[in-house]
Chains A and B, each alone.
Chain A
Amino acid sequence: MATGHDDHHHGPAKGITRWLYTTNHKDIGSMYLWFSFAMFLLGGTFALVIRAELFQPGLQFVDPNFFNQMTTMHGLVMVFGAVMPAFVGLANWMIPLMIGAPDMALPRMNNWSFWILPFAFALLASTLFMEAGAPNFGWTFYAPLSTTYAPSTVTFFIFAIHIMGASSIMGAINIIATIQNLRAPGMTYMKMPLFVWTWLITAYLLIAVMPVLAGVVTMMLFDIHFGTSFFNAAGGGDPVLFQHVFWFFGHPEVYIMILPAFGVISEIVPTFSRKKLFGYDSMVYATSSIAFLSFIVWAHHMFTTGMPLAGELFFMYATMLIAVPTGVKVFNWVTTMFKGSITFETPMLFAIAFVVLFTCGGFTGLMLSIAPADFQYHDTYFVVAHFHYVLVPGAVFSIMAAVYYWLPKWTGNMYDENLGRLHFWLSFIGINILFFPQHFLGLAGMPRRIPDYALQFADFNMISSIGAFIFGFSQLLFLFIVIKTVKGGKKATAEVWEGSHGLEWTVPSPAPYHTFSTPPVVK
């Protein structure tokens, strides 16, 4: 219904300038996704250096300072380079298709948001080759480690954060403007696909907290270079102030990485259950509640900083409240599957794994939210296991699910189902071998961010490292599958999946270079 006007358009430009100068949301979406995958491999390589070092107790491969650079860069690259850009890439590709828009609201700014990223990460990664070494203070860059005691490359780190923040803000403004302004006639807010809804709220979170991140790195910059004392008690400042401002950004940030994942899962589960999503309205309200709560729970990352008791209690109870809307979501996904005629294609496998394993990560989060218990868990491998369970089988699995789900729409070809399932099972098994033992390590007292450890932790660390290498190398299979699908394969229909529904499945596969130049009417 929307493709009759293609004679108005010319196709993509030829050569490299197509990508450099593009204003096309599909091109930009693809660039975001490829960039994100490159960063995923880079950050994964850093992770494998960490796990190789931790394979056995003692110092084997790297010195402790380089180990710290690896943990720092792994976190930064994965959070800002892999997960966030992947979701922005999905948003670029899918939001216009899902709401019946011809493109993003501000196509040139869209291209600017993307092209800042390769430069920002080149700047960040270049610190690895500088004399002072890369940042080594952890991805949370707590002062005074990141100020008084930081290597001189912290300056480049600060500016890299500044410009990738600018990129995120522009990207988020673009997404909000697109959703507010470019929905097809008849598509009211409560008819929007959930992926669009979750992105609307995510974009709002981004605009609200990325400037706060810019603010906190700016204060660092001034403390380092201009003699201020924001994070230095000798001048009347406070290192804990750093943590407050950082986590005011940082906690919404973790929802920025998971809300679009919720959206993806809410698209995939109904398709392969061949049922409508159970509880659409409650999904919208739950997402909004999670976004609201994300602003008032930040200090649960700081229970051991010596906050006043009232603060400990407030942040403990507020954090526990998050389990309620999250529970609503998990309930709705499970209920959508209930009595559905389910098939287990690769996207659905990843989605089900998401529901199960993300819930595990959620439960450990609940354990960590209990302030007195957190005194024990704080800064141990239990925390590492917790946030990797929500980020890897959570956010990353949802991205993989989304890629398998929409790849036929993007390329016009079906991926190889057997290889897809193999990739899933290798990832699923690898991830659990990798992260499950870390719970036990943490509960037994192994601290995070150390290159060496006491002998009693040896066995679980070895198991964990084996899992890491299984998971890491399985991702090369993913790369292979994607390239194979781009090159060819069984032709996909417009609907692609038997149970699919929504505007994106009304355009042909592959989606033409320009879609919906005349908006469809949504009933």
Chain B
Amino acid sequence: MANVTKEAAHSGYDQPYYVPEQSKCPVWASFGLALFVFGMGNLLNDLKADSSTTFSTLLTLAGFGVLATTLFNWFSAQIRENHMGLPGPQLKRSYVLSMYWFIFSEVMFFAAFFGALFYVRQWVIPWLGGEGDKGVSNMLWPNFEASWPVISNPDSSVFSNPGESMAWPGFGGALSYLPLWNTIILLTSSFTVHIAHTALKNNKRQQLILWLGLTVLLGIVFLFLQIEEYAHAYSELGLTLNSGIYGSTFFLLTGFHGFHVTLGTFMLAVMWFRALKGHFKPEDHFGFEAASWYWHFVDVVWVCLFLFVYIF
């Protein structure tokens, strides 16, 4: 619809609605995604079979490259078209709605892992320990005693026992408890991104750049501490992916959260560079808003993690 004028696209219901031009991006993104997962599948199978990973690594990287390049071009096109004023208010409402629903889908993704954690803690471990309705399962490993965190696995010849858990050390050790610091950092970053948003709405660009930059920094610090924590768990606590259900749930939940923080930090960093380039208007900055909603979402997930994975 190249012949739709800017005025027409903006005036809402009575004029032609803006339908975006054809784009090469979707089909390339599909190809990149498929190549990436095909490479990943080969890579994982090669690793498991102890065979050469050269080819599969190349496939994975090529797939990732195609996907990343395509997404970069796709987002650039969207931004360019937005600067040309092509999308009308209705399309912008569609963006907002779809971001809400996307975040809801992410909530459900984490819900699956939290559900698994609750099920294991509420039923599986007590049953294996001989308590409750299905306590008869204790006959599999009669020496297993139910407790959470599980420090001694039912069969520790298959799954090595973790030496220690990440549980709350009590108020005495609170100051040296890394997850507490991470909680403070992430909660603070939710406030800083909100301040940045307010500054943007008031058209105060310097403040926007300052507070958004601070948010990105906090995200990076969080990730750094998370890596520190993992290194500590692996090298000193003996807590690994292979150390039974406690390690499994711990690393899967915190790991996927960390992956989402990485994505969120990346998104905010992109927004920071865009802000430097003078993008965004006080009344039109969906890209920024979407990234900040996403950031608040990963923050909320962290609070749940802190409560149910670390504290209780």
Residues in A lying within 8 Å of B, measured CB to CB: 5, 8-9, 13, 17, 20-24, 101-103, 105-109, 111-112, 114-116, 118-120, 122-123, 152, 155-156, 158-160, 162-163, 166, 169, 172-174, 176-178, 180-182, 185, 207-212, 214-216, 218-219, 221-222, 224-230, 232-238, 241, 244-245, 248, 306, 308-309, 514, 517-519
A-B contact pairs, 22 of them (CB 8 A): A21-B26, A22-B22, A107-B19, A118-B30, A120-B34, A155-B45, A156-B41, A159-B37, A159-B38, A162-B37, A173-B102, A224-B48, A229-B244, A235-B153, A236-B150, A236-B154, A237-B248, A238-B120, A241-B116, A245-B116, A248-B112, A518-B15
CB distance A229 to B248 under 8 Å?
yes
User: A-B contact count, CB below 8 Å?
Assistant: 246
Chain B residues within 8 Å of A517, by CB: 16-17, 19
Q: Is B72 an interface residue (CB 8 A)?
A: no
Distance, CA A229 to CA B248, complexed state (A): 6
Establish whether residues A306 and B97, one from each chain, have CB atoms under 8 Å apart when the complex forms: no
A517 vs B240: C-alpha distance in the bound complex, in angstroms?
A: 57
CB-based contact A308/B38 at 8 Å: no
Contacts of B244 in A (CB 8 A): 229, 235-237
Closest B-chain residue to A174, C-beta based?
B98
Give the segment of B133-141, B219-227, B230-238 that binds chain A: B133-141
Separation of A226 and B43 alpha carbons in the complex (Å): 13
State whether the Cβ of B52 lies closer than 8 Å to any Cβ in chain A: no
Closest chain-A Cβ to B127's Cβ sits at a distance in Å of 8
Kindly list chain B residues whose C-beta atoms are within 8 Å of the C-beta of A232: 158-159
Name the distance in Å between A6's Cβ and chain B's nearest Cβ: 10
The answer on a CB contact under 8 Å between B252 and A219 is: yes
**B103-111, B165-173, B178-186, B198-206: which one contacts chain A?**
B103-111
Does B54 count as interface, using CB distance less than 8 angstroms?
A: no
How distant is the Cα of A477 from the Cα of B97 in the complex, in angstroms?
Answer: 42
CB-CB under 8 A from A238, the residues of chain B are: 119-120, 123-124
Q: Decide if B239 is an interface residue (CB 8 Å cutoff).
A: no
How far is A236 from B153 in the complex, measured between Cα atoms in Å? 6
Cross-chain contact B159 with A21 (CB below 8 angstroms)? no
A123 and B116 within 8 A (CB): no
Q: Are A207 and B104 in contact (CB under 8 A)?
A: yes
Evaluate whether A115 and B26 lie within 8 angstroms (CB atoms) in the complex, with A177-B101, A181-B93, A234-B159 already known.
yes
B84 at the interface (CB under 8 A from A): no
Report Cα–Cα, A152/B133, bound state, in Å: 36
Q: Is B21 an interface residue (CB 8 A)?
A: yes
**In the complex, what residues of A have CB within 8 A of residue B256's CB?**
218
Q: Are A116 and B245 in contact (CB under 8 A)?
A: no
| A142 CB → nearest B CB, Å | 15
- Chain B residues contacting A244 (CB-CB under 8 Å) are 115, 119
Contact indicator B108/A309 (Cβ below 8 Å): no
Interface centre among A212, A230, A237 (most CB of B within 10 A): A237
The distance in angstroms between the C-alpha atoms of A8 and B4, with both chains bound, is 8
**B49 at the binding interface (Cβ < 8 Å):** yes
Annotate B1-40 by CB proximity to A: 1 below 8 A, 0 otherwise: 1011000000001111101111111110111011001101
Q: For the complex, is B293 an interface residue (Cβ under 8 Å from A)?
A: no
Question: Other than the known A159-B37, A236-B246, what 4 A-B pairs have Cβ atoms closer than 8 Å?
Answer: A112-B27, A115-B30, A163-B34, A229-B153
Q: Does B90 contact A (CB under 8 A)?
A: yes
Q: Would you call the interface of chain A mostly helix, strand, loop, or mixed?
A: helix
The answer to whether B22 touches A212, judged by C-beta atoms less than 8 angstroms apart, is no
**B97 touches which of A176, A211, A518 (Cβ 8 Å):** A176
- CB pair A222–B248 under 8 Å, yes or no, is yes
Q: Is the CB of B45 within 8 A of A20?
A: no
A405–B83 alpha-carbon span in the complex (Å): 43
Chain A neighbourhood of B38, CB < 8 A? 123, 156, 159
Q: Separation in Å of the A230 CB from the closest CB of chain B?
A: 6
In this assembly, does B62 line the interface, its C-beta being within 8 Å of a C-beta of chain A? no
B301 at the interface (CB under 8 A from A): no
Structural contact, A111 and B23, CB atoms closer than 8 A: yes
The answer to whether B44 touches A185, judged by C-beta atoms less than 8 angstroms apart, is no
Q: In the bound complex, do residue A21 and residue B22 qualify as a contact, i.e. CB atoms below 8 Å apart?
A: yes
Min CB gap A335→B, angstroms: 35
- The 10 A-B pairs with the shortest beta carbon distances in the complex, nearest first, are A215-B112, A119-B34, A236-B245, A235-B159, A228-B248, A211-B109, A227-B242, A112-B26, A234-B155, A159-B37
The answer to whether A115 and B252 touch across the interface, beta carbons within 8 angstroms, is no
A314 to chain B, nearest CB (A): 14
Select the residue from A13, A24, A173, A244 with max chain B CB neighbours within 10 A. Answer: A173
A182 to B93, CA, bound (A): 10
Closest B residue to A21 using CB positions: B22
Report the separation of the CA atoms of residues A152 and B19 in the bound assembly, to the nearest whole angstrom: 44
For A127, the closest partner residue in chain B by CB is: B41
Q: Do residues A122 and B34 form an inter-chain contact, with CB atoms below 8 A?
A: yes
Closest chain A residue to B32, Cβ basis: A119
Judged by a CB distance under 8 angstroms, whether B74 is at the interface is: yes
In the complex, chain B residues 75-94 whose Cβ is within 8 Å of any chain A Cβ: 90-91, 93-94
- From A118, A159, A176, A218, B101 is in contact (CB under 8 Å) with A176
A518 in contact with B23 given A105-B94, A177-B97 (CB within 8 Å): no
B213 at the interface (CB under 8 A from A): no
> In the bound complex, what is the Cα–Cα distance between A111 and B30 (angstroms)?
10
Decide if B303 is an interface residue (CB 8 Å cutoff): no
User: B105 contacts which chain A residues (CB < 8 A)?
Assistant: 169, 173, 207-208, 210-211
Nearest-neighbour CB distance to chain A for B132, whole angstroms, equals 8
Chain A residues whose CB sits within 8 angstroms of the CB of B90 once the complex forms:
181-182
A24, A116, A207, A518: the one contacting B16 at CB < 8 Å is A518
Q: In the bound complex, what is the Cα–Cα distance between A421 and B312 (angstroms)?
A: 64
Find out whether the CB atom of A23 lies under 8 angstroms from the CB atom of B21.
yes
> A188–B103 Cα gap in the complex (Å)?
26
Tell me, rounded to whole Å, the shortest Cβ–Cβ distance linking B99 to chain A.
9
User: Does B309 sit within 8 A of A, measured CB to CB?
Assistant: no
Contact at B41–A159, with CB atoms within 8 Å? yes
Asked if B261 is at the interface (CB within 8 A of a chain A CB), the reply is no
Among B25, B34, B49, B137, chain A packs the most CB atoms within 10 A around the CB of: B34
Q: How far is the CA of A168 from the CA of B297 in the complex (A)?
A: 22
Q: Give B265 Cβ to nearest chain A Cβ, in Å.
A: 22
- What is the distance, in angstroms, from A201's C-beta to the closest C-beta of chain B? 14
**How far is B105's CA from A208's CA once the two chains are assembled, in angstroms?**
6
Query: From residue B83, how far is it (CB to closest CB) to chain A in Å?
Result: 17
Shortest beta-carbon distance from B163 to chain A in Å: 16
- Determine if A518 and B154 form an interchain contact, defined as CB atoms under 8 angstroms apart: no
Contact indicator B19/A514 (Cβ below 8 Å): yes
Task: Report chain B residues within 8 Å CB of A236.
Answer: 120, 124-125, 128, 150, 153-154, 159, 244-246
Residue on A nearest B2 in the bound complex, by CB: A10
Q: Which residues of B contact A172 (CB under 8 A)?
A: 101
Give chain A residues whose Cβ lies under 8 Å from the Cβ of B133: 308-309
Nearest A-chain residue to B93, judged by Cβ: A181
- Interfacial chain A residues near B17, Cβ < 8 Å: 101-103, 182, 517-519
Residue contact B30 to A112, C-beta cutoff 8 Å: yes
